[in-house]
Copies of this chain bind each other. A is one copy, B any other.
Amino acid sequence: MNYQALSAQIRQKKSYLCVGLDTDSQKLPAHLANVPDPVFEFNKAIIDATAPYAVAYKPNIAFYEAQGPRGWESLQKTLDYIPTDCFTIADAKRGDIGNTSGLYARAFFDPSAAGLDFDAITVAPYMGHDSVLPFLEYPGKWVILLALTSNPGSADFQRQQVDNETQELFETVIQKAQTWANHEQLMFVVGATQSDQIARIRELAPDNFLLIPGVGAQGGSLADVSKNGLTKDGGLLVNASRSILYASSGTDFAEAAAAEAKAIQAEMATYLN
């Protein structure tokens, strides 16, 4: 899905909600324990319940990888089930030397390789340009580069003063990455818990979409993020995972997820106006 189509989806659904499919096999409702693929059945119900309110889905790959080969099968079935009008993100935080990043790109972007055809992948910047460029060689696919993450450890390196104390490392990451790709193929991850920095990031990256995790369970404010981050084309994908997936642990988990997603979408609609 390209920039214009994503922006159109945001206008149409009045939503920039991304649902994080961080499906923990140990947290599923008890009544799903005996179906053949509980993770997929859970995801299917969550997708059905939330698709009217979400423009994107983001499985975090760790949750599937921790299940071994059958986890990858659940992931593949889940991705195939997501409606084609939704943007899909492999939250994988990959990155390696060039020929190896090329294989990760093949894994997530080339359906003839591992059966996966995501629109986008999250990538860690530490190894620099040649660890990122192989993902950009797939026309129409996106890199979502970690910039300023939502966790406490973001202070350790991302906020190091660099360049003679003139700026912080995450700012250098955002600036350099824009020499590798434009806003039609490059987004940045910025934690919602860093909302005081979003206005600054908008100066550095006026047109790039920002993928914002950390609203909900991690405590970030949707109002603050939206005020500082929205652009004329949308420009934000705000992710919620646990608050939607585990809104109820009973047989009504999908209805509870829909209600939570609908509430977030309704709040987003007010900020889009």
Interface residues in chain A, defined as those with a beta carbon under 8 Å from any beta carbon in chain B: 22, 24, 60, 62-63, 65-73, 76, 91, 93-98, 100-101, 103-104, 106-107, 113-116, 124-132, 146, 149-158, 160-165, 169, 172-173, 176
Contacts and interface: CB of A to CB of B under 8 A. Distances in A.
Contacts of A131: 151, 153
Given A62-B100, A126-B126, A172 B157 contact: yes
Contact of A93 (B114, B124, B151): B124
Nearest to A25: B113
Given A72-B72, A172-B160, A127 B146 contact: yes
B128 A68 contact: no
B125 A157 contact: yes
Given A68-B107, A129-B153, A160-B160, 20 more contacts: A22-B100, A62-B100, A65-B107, A66-B107, A66-B114, A68-B72, A69-B114, A71-B114, A93-B95, A97-B150, A125-B156, A126-B157, A130-B151, A130-B152, A130-B153, A131-B151, A132-B153, A157-B176, A160-B172, A169-B169
Chain B CB within 10 A, most for which of A66, A113, A126: A126
Contact of A128 (B65, B153, B172, B173): B153
Given A60-B100, A127-B146, A113 B152 contact: no
Contacts of A161: 162-164
A96 B93 contact: yes
A94 B63 CA distance: 13
A151 to B, nearest CB: 4
Chain B CB within 10 A, most for which of A69, A104, A165: A69
Contacts of A62: 94, 96, 100-101, 103-104, 107
A172 B126 CA distance: 13
A244 to B, nearest CB: 16
A146 B126 contact: yes
A108 to B, nearest CB: 9
B72 A69 contact: yes
A62 B169 CA distance: 27
